[in-house]
Amino acid sequence: MGYSFTWKEDGVLRTESKRMPALVTRDGKELFYNQVIAALEGWGDARNDASRAVRFGDGAPFTAEEVAALHDTARHMRSVQVAFKWQAGDLLLLDNEQVMHSRARFTPPRRVLAALKGPPIDRRGASLGVGGASSTAVTTTMPALTLRSFDAMPCVGLGVWKISRETTAAVVYQALLAGYRHLDCACDYGNEREVGLGIALAIAEGVCTREQLFVTSKLWNTFHAREHVEMACRKTLMDLGLAYVDLYLIHFPIALRYVPFDTRYPPEWVDDPHAATPRMELASVAYQETYQAMEQLQRAGLCRNIGVANLTTAGLRDVLSYASIAPAVLQVEMHPYLQQSTLLRYAKAHGIAVTAFSPLGSSSYVELDMATHADSCLTESVVLDLAAKHRRTPAQVVLRWAVQRGTSVIPKSSHEARLRENAALFDFELSQEDMAAVGTLERGRRFNDPGVFCEGMGVFCPIFD
């Protein structure tokens, strides 16, 4: 079978594998599966490009179809990983007919029997720096918006923008433990692999199942060309360790010059960060081309729903004029200082659910010098008075206002107590007068505006009038 093991004196199981063919392509070339998966999955930095990492022995590259098939298989392998506890004296039985690692067919029974030494180590969350056996999962059902596909998108999700890679897995795990089932990710956030680790741990421990989750990701600006959309989605799926995402959005209506995975991933905004004057490089790709490639992703089952982000009513109207699969969701900046009531009304009228990012306003932008502490709606007297009236925090009042408007919200937090606080919105209600009072805070204040911040990258790139 090309596999052997020996027990070391300290109880460690040493294993050795030899190269054994597992797959044969149509033209008779053999794929050595263990090396292929190591090349596809083994790197955690921007150098990894599957099309270059794996080649046949004669130097011929894999086709895109062959690479996609391997990614699908790798995701399946991760999705069926199991975790179990044992005690001294238990036996581990591996049936080679069932275990993919055997890489070859055998006539059963041919089995490996190994004794497990010593007590189990409870590693629940330990390697991620999160709580272990004492943690308690919340099992309450989160209210949800029903999409045109009849999928349910929970009204409160965790946004992972600006959560550090070092803490992302732990934060995602704690959020799922606290009852979150909606995770908002993106290629550009640079932490999808860590999001996947948090999801995998929660599923392994029985906190949730994959089917109970609603995972969103987004297509980045450098992958708008038709030929790049699917590969970008598959890269996201590989990093998340998922066979599909529940929602895939076009992140911005801005097409940038393509940046290969092995050059830099995530590509970010500027074309060459090492240039004397780093700048954005726009690409001539029509939004219609990108959206129609997104439709193909949904047809292929790589995402259950597609949508758009950072569009205006004019942008939505344009998409609806040519879409054969209408957007399920629009994600935009929305908070008391930027209420976008007309856009919200238009989206609802066309069956498009709306997710509000940055629902608490300026807090995520202060450290980026795109806002100041004085820009916070949480210190407004209207919000403070309502917080006192309902015995809630100002953040809970603002988030409750948002969900009562019929939107979902994706606040970001790295703290367990704040995660639970942000989700505790459904045992109180704001009156019509309360809602109207928050409505008086409208200022048209937009914090995330490419028309402003892109000028620092050498391009004036407005997308909002």
Residues with active-site annotation: 189
Looking only at the bridges linking them, the beta strands covering 353-357 and 329-333 are: parallel
Cα Dmax for the chain: 75
Looking only at the bridges linking them, the beta strands covering 3-7 and 13-17 are: antiparallel
d(CA 277, CA 297): 36
Nearest by Cα to 96 from 81, 107, 80, 85: 107
d(CA 67, CA 335): 42
Residue 388 corresponds to which tokens in the numbers above?
């006192």
d(CA 329, CA 347): 9
Question: What's the CA dihedral at 455, 162, 176, 219 to 10 degrees?
Answer: 40
Three-state SS for 38? helix
Q: What is the CA radius of gyration of the chain?
A: 24
Three-state SS for 412? coil
Q: Give Cβ neighbours of residue 253 (< 8 Å, ≥ 6 apart).
A: 287, 308, 310, 311, 315, 463
Residue type, 285: V
